[in-house]
Amino acid sequence: MRQVYAFENKEEYEKYQDIIHRFGKKLNAYQKILEDHYSLTELPKGILWTSEELATKVFSDIPIPAYTNKDLIYMSPDLETWRKILVRQLDGKALPNVQKFYESYSENQVFIILAHELTHHSDLFLDEFDDEREDSIWFEEGMCFYLPRKILLSEKEFNEITNAEAELFEAFKNKYGNHSLDNFGSSSYLGSLSSIMFDYWRSYLSIKYLVEVRANNNVKEVFDTYHRWHKEGRKVPLTEYFKLEPLLN
């Protein structure tokens, strides 16, 4: 993949040069895992490294400075930016353990965000980037969180991010959990960060449950069920097909 740099001055690029290099090496290793085991056959044309300001106000209006389309992954490598964004998810709620975790968010956890974006390019996901992507976006988003976390994080790191998002889910489910997970993506990126991120937390926790509990840690079995739902014509919502909906309430 090409490495494209979009910073407003040379000094800003030089500030992030080392972390970009480290991320690039780690992403190459993860790319090989996806190619060997998770049907990654076509890469995006490149990664566009940029600032939060340019990512969220110039290249897109998505409020998170990491996203992908068919051609490019956009990513801010700034660790302090990510810590501030992630703390904002608390929306002022007193969740001291979560806040402490995000205030010291590690470089490795930020790298997982980049790995998440590459995971979207796996052919195991059935919807194309230019599709409406309505029926099963929760499945893809949840799996794109789960796979790199499970593969690349230590058990301690994996449990820390899982516990933080589980606590956030519990804190906000009465406020934001009154719609089906199948409706993920039906609203635009409006409102507070917690309202935007709620379905991402819920999607990840649902995929973790499906893989580790329902399928006894067999990721392939979960993908097979997802593909079977598609081949049968998507006759019912995917959460219903997985018999997942009652567990989300």
Task: Give the pLDDT confidence of 24-36 residue by residue, as tens digits.
Answer: 999 999 999 999 9
Q: What is the mean pLDDT of residues 186-192?
A: 62
Q: What is the mean pLDDT of residues 44-48?
A: 97
Q: Output the six-digit token pair for 246.
A: 């009652």
CB half-sphere exposure, 215, CA atoms < 13 A: 19
pLDDT tens profile 84-127: 999 999 999 999 999 999 999 999 999 999 999 999 999 999 98
User: Global pTM?
Assistant: 0.94
Average pLDDT, the chain: 93
pLDDT tens profile 116-144: 999 999 999 998 776 655 678 999 999 99
Q: What is the architecture, at CATH level 2, of domain 2-248? A: Orthogonal Bundle (1.10)
Give the pLDDT confidence score for residue 186 in this predicted structure.
55
Domain ranges of the chain: 2-248
